[in-house]
Amino acid sequence: MLAMQKAAKKPATHPLGTSGLDIRRVTTWPEYRACVELQREVWGGDFSDQVPASILSVAQRVGGVCAGAFEPDGRLVGFVFGISGIQHGRLVHWSDLMAVRAEARDRGVGRQLKLFQRELVRADGATMMYWSFDPLVARNAHFNFATLGVKAVEYVEDMYGADSGSILHRGLGTDRLIAAWAIEGEGARVPQSKASQRANDLVPLSQIVVLNPTGTPPRAVMPPTLPPLPAPIIAPCVGVVIPLDIHRVQQAAPDEAVRWRAATRSAFEWAFANGYHIDSFRRLDETESGLYVLLHHGSGRLAHDHV
């Protein structure tokens, strides 16, 4: 009863919505079931980690969030789901799922859902939000780093097992970066508009040592002429390249997609183990690729928090 009363005091809708959508908590069984159907639509009917309507509902009774983006006629076009818990004595929130229908993308729906989720958990006293995302998906990398301003604190190999059953994961496993988004205190950032650009994104490409140069197949390790660490750092700034559309690669050439996974896994694991952190992500449209820009902890920037 206490959790239900507390939830009732929180904002019912998102005050920043600009897409003509109603951003609010999911409240009815038909709406919860619509969230389940959207999971099937996005991840496929065989997705083994589907969250049922009952758990979506129960989680909200104990501080979790299940919020949707609704058209004026009540149709669900996107939703976000997360749970809260205690970590090192502080309240944190794990954002487990976010899905947006294909026809509703590029309308800022994901940003509005994340902002609404942020407001709800901040009202509970949470200071940090975490979630995982596939480092090979350029759209998500751009959203997380350029729009929301997250930090990436860990690379996890096959975080959800080698095969989740989803059509999006087949052959690629479920390697994930863990995103950390500060919502209170030092490090908290207001998400940027699409027109904003961080100064770090202007680092000349000539100053970035790319750890997995492109090619067919992409090479899986750093160039052999570079010395190992903890010798003097090879460069204050290194990069990891990914394709702009890994799902298109996956459909057209599955073996090449698997090689991309191996190449980026080696590059990220090497970089994280040797004192680098992801600073930003940029799109390189002319080469149909994306580039993670990583800085060494000794290059003048603060190291990121760890999960």
Confidence of residue 200 (pLDDT cuts 50, 70, 90): very low
Q: Identify whether 223 is part of a domain.
A: yes
Model confidence pLDDT, tens digit, residues 279-291: 999 998 888 899 9
CA–CA gap between residue 306 and residue 285 (Å, rounded): 32
Share of the chain above pLDDT 70, in %: 75
Domain tally for the chain? 2
CA–CA gap between residue 63 and residue 82 (Å, rounded): 9
CA–CA gap between residue 121 and residue 204 (Å, rounded): 38
Q: Identify whether 257 is part of a domain.
A: yes
Do 112 and 216 lie in a common domain? no
Model confidence pLDDT, tens digit, residues 245-275: 998 998 888 888 888 998 899 899 989 988 8
Q: Identify whether 188 is part of a domain.
A: no
122, 154, 182 — which closes off a domain? 182
The three-state (H, E, C) secondary structure of the chain, written as one string: CHHHHHHHCCCCECCCCCCCCEEEECCCHHHHHHHHHHHHHHHCCCCCCCCCHHHHHHHHHCCCEEEEEECCCCCEEEEEEEEEEEECCEEEEEEEEEEECHHHCCCCHHHHHHHHHHHHHHHHCCCEEEEEECCCCHHHHHHHHHHHCCEEEEEECCCCCCCCCCCCCCCCCCCEEEEEEECCCCCCCCCCCCCCCCHHHHCCHHHCEECCCCCCCCCCCCCCCCCCCCCCCCCCEEEEEEECCHHHHHHHCHHHHHHHHHHHHHHHHHHHHCCEEEEEEEEEHHHCEEEEEEEEHHHCCCCCCCC
pLDDT at 14: 44
pLDDT at 168: 53
Q: Identify whether 192 is part of a domain.
A: no
Please give the single-letter amino acid code of residue 20.
G
Structure tokens belonging to residue 64: 């979790």
pLDDT at 188: 59
154, 182, 210 — which closes off a domain? 182
Mean pLDDT of 65-91: 95
Do 254 and 294 lie in a common domain? yes
Mean pLDDT of 230-239: 71
pLDDT at 287: 84
Neighbours of 244 (CB within 10 A): 17
Confidence of residue 213 (pLDDT cuts 50, 70, 90): confident
Q: Identify whether 145 is part of a domain.
A: yes
Structure tokens belonging to residue 95: 């954002």
Q: Identify whether 31 is part of a domain.
A: yes
Structural domain harbouring 136: 2-182
Do 264 and 123 lie in a common domain? no
In the beta sheet, which residues pair with residue 78?
Answer: 69, 100
CA–CA gap between residue 157 and residue 159 (Å, rounded): 5
Do 81 and 205 lie in a common domain? no
Do 175 and 212 lie in a common domain? no
Do 15 and 92 lie in a common domain? yes
Spatial contact of 246 and 257, defined as CB atoms under 8 Å apart:
yes
User: Could you tell me which residues come within 8 angstroms of residue 236 by beta carbon, excluding any fewer than 6 positions away?
Assistant: 295, 296, 298, 299, 300
Phi-psi region of 149 (alpha: psi -120 to 50; beta: other; left: phi over 0): left
Q: Identify whether 187 is part of a domain.
A: no
CATH number at residue 136: 3.40.630.30
Do 289 and 142 lie in a common domain? no
Do 55 and 153 lie in a common domain? yes
CA–CA gap between residue 35 and residue 52 (Å, rounded): 9
Model confidence pLDDT, tens digit, residues 51-67: 999 999 999 999 999 99
Residue 13 has pLDDT above 60, yes or no: no
Do 144 and 236 lie in a common domain? no
Do 46 and 123 lie in a common domain? yes
Q: What is the pTM of this model?
A: 0.79
Residue of higher predicted confidence among 193 and 23: 23
Q: Find tokens 């202007």 and name the residue.
A: 202
CA–CA gap between residue 85 and residue 208 (Å, rounded): 38
Model confidence pLDDT, tens digit, residues 24-45: 999 999 999 999 999 999 888 7
Mean pLDDT of the chain: 80
Confidence of residue 16 (pLDDT cuts 50, 70, 90): very low
Among 15-24, 218-227, 274-283, where is mean pLDDT lowest?
218-227
151, 182, 213 — which closes off a domain? 182
Mean pLDDT of 121-138: 95
Backbone phi and psi for residue 12, each to the nearest 5 degrees, phi listed first: -85, -25
Q: Identify whether 141 is part of a domain.
A: yes
Do 178 and 237 lie in a common domain? no
Confidence of residue 227 (pLDDT cuts 50, 70, 90): very low
pLDDT at 277: 92
Confidence of residue 4 (pLDDT cuts 50, 70, 90): very low
Do 50 and 167 lie in a common domain? yes
